[in-house]
């Protein structure tokens, strides 16, 4: 049973997120998503449209996501990897290099981001095209 973990806000879920999550799951058998809490988002200077609970519900509805846990801080990754016996840590390549220190504990893989889609773009579009 190969266990994979990834981290993120996953606000206003879009096909870029779906591509990342699907590819992450395909690297193993069990995918854990550590979902940024609303409080941690504030630390990342992000304000998500959907609350943590709503974003969690959406992710849990995806058949290729096996477990959603809260991401409360930057520091929890090593303990998460140990606690959940993670084999592979996956992030989009906008984070390339940032988490290489986790190589001591598990495989670290950066996957290419999906171009031309982001939660921010979606929100901007909706804000500027209210009918």
Q: Would you please indicate which residues are annotated as catalytic (active-site) residues?
A: 44, 46
Query: Is 10 an interacting residue with respect to ligand C2G (CB under 6 A)?
Result: yes
Q: Choose between 2 and 74: whose C-beta lies nearer to ligand C2G.
A: 74
Please tell me the distance from the alpha carbon of residue 91 to that of residue 103, in angstroms, as a whole number. 13
Q: Choose between 73 and 85: whose C-beta lies nearer to ligand C2G.
A: 73
Least distance from C-beta 41 to ligand C2G, angstroms? 8
What contacts 34, CB < 8 A, 6 or more positions away? Answer: 5, 6, 7, 8, 68, 69, 70, 71, 76, 77, 80
Least distance from C-beta 103 to ligand C2G, angstroms? 16
76: which DSSP letter? G
Of the residues 7, 33, 56, 68, which one makes contact with ligand C2G according to CB under 6 A: 7
Query: Is 37 an interacting residue with respect to ligand C2G (CB under 6 A)?
Result: no
Stretch that binds ligand C2G, among 3-11, 56-64, 80-88, 122-130 (CB under 6 A): 3-11
Of the residues 3, 5, 17, 80, which one makes contact with ligand C2G according to CB under 6 A: 17
Half-sphere exposure of 116 (CA within 13 A, CB side): 0
Largest pairwise CA distance in the chain: 52
54 to 93, contacts with ligand C2G by CB under 6 A?
A: 71, 91-92
Residue nearest to ligand C2G (CB): 92
Cβ distance 50 to 11 under 8 Å?
A: yes
Query: 59 in the Ramachandran plot: left (φ > 0), alpha (ψ -120 to 50) or beta?
Result: alpha
């Amino acid at each position: 049973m190969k266990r994979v973990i990834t981290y993120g806000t996953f606000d206003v879920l879009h096909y870029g997120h779906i591509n990342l999550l699907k590819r992450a799951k395909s690297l193993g058998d069990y995918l854990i998503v550590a979902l940024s809490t609303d409080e941690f988002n504030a630390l990342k200077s992000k304000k998500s449209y959907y609350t943590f609970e709503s974003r969690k519900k959406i992710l849990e509805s995806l058949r290729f996501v096996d477990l959603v846990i809260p991401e409360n801080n930057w520091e929890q990754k090593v303990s998460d990897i140990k606690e959940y016996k993670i084999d592979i840590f996956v992030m989009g390549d906008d984070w390339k290099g940032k988490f290489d220190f986790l190589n001591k504990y598990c495989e670290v893989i950066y996957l290419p981001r999906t171009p031309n889609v982001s939660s921010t773009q979606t929100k901007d579009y909706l804000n500027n095209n209210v009918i």
